[in-house]
């Protein structure tokens, strides 16, 4: 399974929904980078993603985007392949 990294905050409902969706897909470990605890981490997130909002999700080396992008990948049937690449 590809590593999942999520830039998030403590009070973000979209972060919680993204985590719930990922867990429903069998993801047990999500590396959460809390941008509300360290302003420099938000700057890092914005430089990497060119976006200001959370969550910002990476699966492996692929920047998925936010919750809406994650859900759209799932609806299109492409999320499972991204999470579980063929060996």
pTM score, whole prediction: 0.92
Contacts of 38 (CB under 8 A, 6+ apart): none
Residue 87 has pLDDT above 80, yes or no: no
* pLDDT tens digits along 33-69: 999 999 999 999 999 999 999 999 999 999 999 999 9
Contacts of 65 (CB under 8 A, 6+ apart): 49, 51, 56, 57
| Residue-level pLDDT at 77 | 95
Token readout for 67 is 């919750």
Domain 4-80 coded CATH 3.40.30.10? yes
* pLDDT tens digits along 9-25: 999 999 999 999 999 99
| Residue-level pLDDT at 32 | 96
Q: Kindly list the distances between the CA atom of residue 1 and the CA atoms of 51, 59, 86, in Å, as whole numbers in the listed order.
A: 26, 9, 9
**Domain ranges (residues) in the chain:** 4-80
Task: Indicate the helix (H) or strand (E) that contains 56.
Answer: strand 56-59
Nearest-CA neighbor of 45 among 8, 16, 3?
A: 8
């Amino acid at each position: 399974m590809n590593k999942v990294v999520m830039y998030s905050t403590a009070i973000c409902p979209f972060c919680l929904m993204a985590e719930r969706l990922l867990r429903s897909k069998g993801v047990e470990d999500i590396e959460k980078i809390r941008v509300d605890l360290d302003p420099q981490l938000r700057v890092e997130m914005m430089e990497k993603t060119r976006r200001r909002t959370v969550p910002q999700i990476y699966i492996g080396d692929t920047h998925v985007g936010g919750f809406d992008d994650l859900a759209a990948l799932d609806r299109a049937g492409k999320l499972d392949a991204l999470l579980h690449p063929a060996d």
